[in-house]
């Protein structure tokens, strides 16, 4: 038994080292995770009402009987019971009434089956998705999310990605075809602590540390709760679009305010750029 445990630990360690696991938060796109391998992020803190051994328990909100309950707080799953394990996401069950999904997870070595409640509302951070994920991004998974609209009066065609939320900030890619003219736009927001009106300047830092500078792009600002939301609509040249098909946006700056994109968002928009140029 001891030898089997050691061999299993070695196998899991080898898999973790051989594959790249990243923090990928897909928000409402829960279906992206189907077929992927996931492992618990060691940096997460609370695992409250997330994991169950019994599928029936997941049908109730805040059900008791969580998987491997903590002795002090029995609504929490013990972090140690999941650390180091790798799971296949075998299936995803939608629960539209409660805006959530149930992930059927199978541990790759023991074949133990547990169920994870994916709350879509919190799916854009480790709070709602406490895993690191190993899955190849393919543009076929994202092209169908682009929306095409046509102005019946001018025949102008607009192709837009969804408004994607990355933390508190948002990003969208658009393509506008008007007669023989085609223009690409990238819409970005960033959060700032002070208001600055009439400012300019956008910098995109790519994942190979090269930059796209747009010093003349106007940056607008409006009040957003207790902070300020800065926005910019950035026209892109064909050369810049070509670059962004193969290089992801790692972070960006609007005037003096920065936003670091999550790994998943960086890869997702690289796929959107590949998709939108085909349309």
Tell me: do 183 and 227 sit in the same domain. yes
- Choose one of 87, 116, 136: the last residue of a domain: 136
User: CA 105, CA 91: separation in Å to the nearest integer?
Assistant: 8
pLDDT of residue 45: 87
Cβ atoms of 68 and 51 closer than 8 Å: yes
- 247 and 161 inside one domain: yes
Q: What is the pLDDT of residues 72-130, one digit of tens each?
A: 999 999 999 999 999 999 999 999 888 899 999 999 999 999 999 999 888 878 889 99
What is the helix (H) or strand (E) element at residue 264, kind and residue range?
helix 263-276
H-only helix segments in 19-161: none
CA-CA distances (angstroms) from residue 80 to 23, 41, 43, 72? 19, 11, 12, 14
Q: What are 118's two structure tokens?
A: 């994916």
**pLDDT (mean) for 178-201:** 96
Name the domain count of the chain: 2
Q: Cα 245 to chain center, whole Å?
A: 18
125 and 156 assigned to the same domain: no
Same domain, 158 and 38: no
Buried b / exposed e across 216-236, counting CB within 10 Å, b at 16+? ebebebeeeeeebbbbbebeb
Percent of the chain with pLDDT over 90: 81
- Whether 221 and 163 share a structural domain: yes
Both 107 and 226 in one domain: the answer is no
> The whole model's pTM is what?
0.83
Considering only CA atoms, which of 220, 201, 221 is closest in space to residue 212? 201
Looking at the predicted structure, is the pLDDT value of residue 48 above 90?
yes
pLDDT score at 126: 86
Residues 197 and 166 in one domain: yes
Domain boundary among 115, 136, 157: 136
- Judgement on whether residues 224 and 209 belong to the same structural domain of the protein: yes
Of 121, 136, 151, the domain-final residue: 136
| 3-state secondary structure at position 144 | helix
Q: Are residues 98 and 48 in the same domain?
A: yes
Kind and range of the H or E run holding 18: helix 2-18
Q: Are 89 and 35 in contact (CB under 8 A)?
A: yes
The rounded distance, in Å, linking the Cα atoms of 1 and 97 is 45
- Looking at every residue in the chain, the average pLDDT score rounds to 92
Task: Report phi then psi at 10, rounded to 5.
Answer: -65, -40
Domain membership of residue 21 as a residue range = 2-136
Instruction: Looking at the structure, tell me whether residues 56 and 155 fall in a common domain.
Output: no
Q: How many Å apart are CA 187 and CA 185, to the nearest integer?
A: 6
Q: In this structure, what is the dihedral angle of CA atoms 89, 91, 93, 94, given to the nearest 10 degrees?
A: 70
**53-60 average pLDDT score:** 92
Strand, helix or coil for residue 60: coil
* pLDDT tens profile 121-166: 888 788 899 999 999 899 999 999 999 999 999 999 999 999 998 8
Same domain for 254 and 183, yes or no, is yes
39, β-bridge pairs: 86, 132
Looking at the fold, whether 94 and 158 belong to one and the same domain comes out as no
Does 15 have pLDDT greater than 60? no
pLDDT of 266 > 80? The answer is yes
Q: What is the reported pLDDT for 18?
A: 54
**CA 173: distance to chain centroid?**
16
Residue 6 confidence class, pLDDT cut points 50, 70, 90: very low
Q: Bridge-partner residues for 266, per DSSP? A: none
């Amino acid at each position: 038994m001891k030898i089997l445990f050691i061999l299993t630990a070695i196998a899991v360690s080898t898999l973790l080292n051989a594959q790249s696991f990243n923090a990928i938060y897909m928000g409402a796109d829960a279906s992206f995770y189907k077929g992927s391998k996931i492992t618990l992020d060691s940096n997460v803190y609370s695992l409250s009402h997330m994991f169950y051994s019994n599928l029936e328990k997941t049908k109730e909100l805040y059900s008791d009987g969580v998987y491997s309950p903590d002795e002090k707080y029995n609504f929490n799953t013990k972090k140690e019971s999941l650390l180091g394990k790798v799971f296949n996401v075998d299936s995803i069950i939608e629960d539209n009434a409660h805006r959530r999904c149930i992930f059927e997870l199978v541990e790759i070595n023991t074949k133990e089956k547990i169920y994870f409640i994916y709350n879509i509302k919190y799916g854009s951070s480790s709070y709602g998705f406490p895993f690191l994920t190993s899955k190849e991004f393919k543009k076929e998974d994202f092209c169908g999310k682009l929306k095409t609209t046509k102005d019946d009066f001018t025949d102008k065609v607009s192709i837009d990605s969804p408004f994607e939320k990355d933390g508190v900030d948002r990003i969208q890619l658009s393509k506008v075809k008007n007669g023989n003219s085609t223009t690409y736009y990238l819409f970005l927001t960033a959060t700032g602590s002070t208001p600055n009106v009439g400012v300019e300047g956008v910098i995109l830092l790519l994942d190979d540390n090269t930059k796209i500078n747009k010093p003349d792009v106007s940056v607008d600002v409006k009040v957003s709760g207790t902070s300020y939301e800065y926005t910019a609509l950035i026209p892109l040249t064909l050369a810049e679009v070509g670059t962004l098909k193969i290089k992801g946006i790692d972070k960006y700056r609007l005037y003096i305010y920065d936003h670091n994109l999550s790994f998943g968002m960086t890869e997702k928009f690289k796929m959107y750029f590949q998709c939108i140029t085909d349309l």
